[in-house]
A and B are shown apart, each in its own frame.
Chain A
């Protein structure tokens, strides 16, 4: 791995960690509701530097954040890891296969959808085991996830425009 890649991954992971920590202290009407701000960094990393960087940054972010909050290897960590890996995989493969069909907003939407789907599946398999409870809550979760995913995508788009501005032919 070239030195420059390491710097990029370190900087992006630091951004993602800060966003992850920041949204954890935001008061929320529903306790499990999260904005998924750190996924902005995943999308940006994917579009700027490719899938491997995005996945590395996501893994570093989830593991370090869970260590800082003391939930490493706990149930919340399992859900977080499953959702993060599934959404990064989905976003990465869609980005590779669709050849620029989706912009940052579309990728962020796909990411939020698979994040929620994986978390619901994991929650069902590991903790709840009552299919009707999962079915009842899932459309609400997907609705909220779609809204936050769209906003995160727009922010990612703005961020990408800003990063690309000084060097237009960077990517």
Chain B
């Protein structure tokens, strides 16, 4: 192995150092430049029916148990703006930027955030 390392040409060494430096700096540059975009995941009755990035404004109507349910994404926040359940607690929850909105009668769960929220949910599913 020592001989092989010694026999690397100058171009080999330059290329190796360049690639290492580029990818290392790339890790930090990308981390700064690209924010970890959070996601909105809507589950109805345990099945994910809608997924969207949090940073794009959107307004959707999804089918749930009691008619349609309206999900609005605006300014990296999410709210439920339409529901046909008795109490409409989910609508009273208002704008949420991180966490979950739950609507029990409709069996709707809106996850707001990155993959972390989903991971937590999976852990709950295993332990509970």
| Bound-complex Cα distance A106 to B11 (A) | 7
Asked if A132 and B34 make an inter-chain contact with CB atoms under 8 angstroms apart, the answer reads yes
B126 interface residue (CB < 8 Å to A): no
A113-B19 contact in complex given A105-B8, A154-B5, A157-B4, C-beta closer than 8 Å: yes
Any A CB within 8 A of the CB of B15: yes
B12 touches A103 (CB 8 A): yes
- Contact in complex: A139, B4 (CB < 8 Å): no
The answer, among B9, B20, B22, B23, for a CB contact under 8 Å with A106, is B9
Tell me whether A97 is interfacial, beta carbon within 8 Å. Answer: no
Q: A135-B34, A142-B26, A161-B3 are in contact. Are A103 and B8 (CB under 8 A)?
A: yes
Q: What does the 1/0 interface line of A140-171 toward B look like (CB < 8 Å)?
A: 10110011001001110110010000000000
- Residues 116-155 of chain A, each 1 if its beta carbon lies under 8 Å from chain B, else 0: 0000000000000010100110111011001100100111
Q: Which residues of B contact A161 (CB under 8 A)?
A: 3-4
Partner of B4, one of A101, A135, A154: A154
CA distance A105 to B31 in the complex (A): 30
The 9 A-B pairs of least Cβ separation, nearest first, read A139-B26, A106-B12, A143-B23, A142-B23, A157-B4, A146-B19, A139-B27, A105-B12, A154-B4
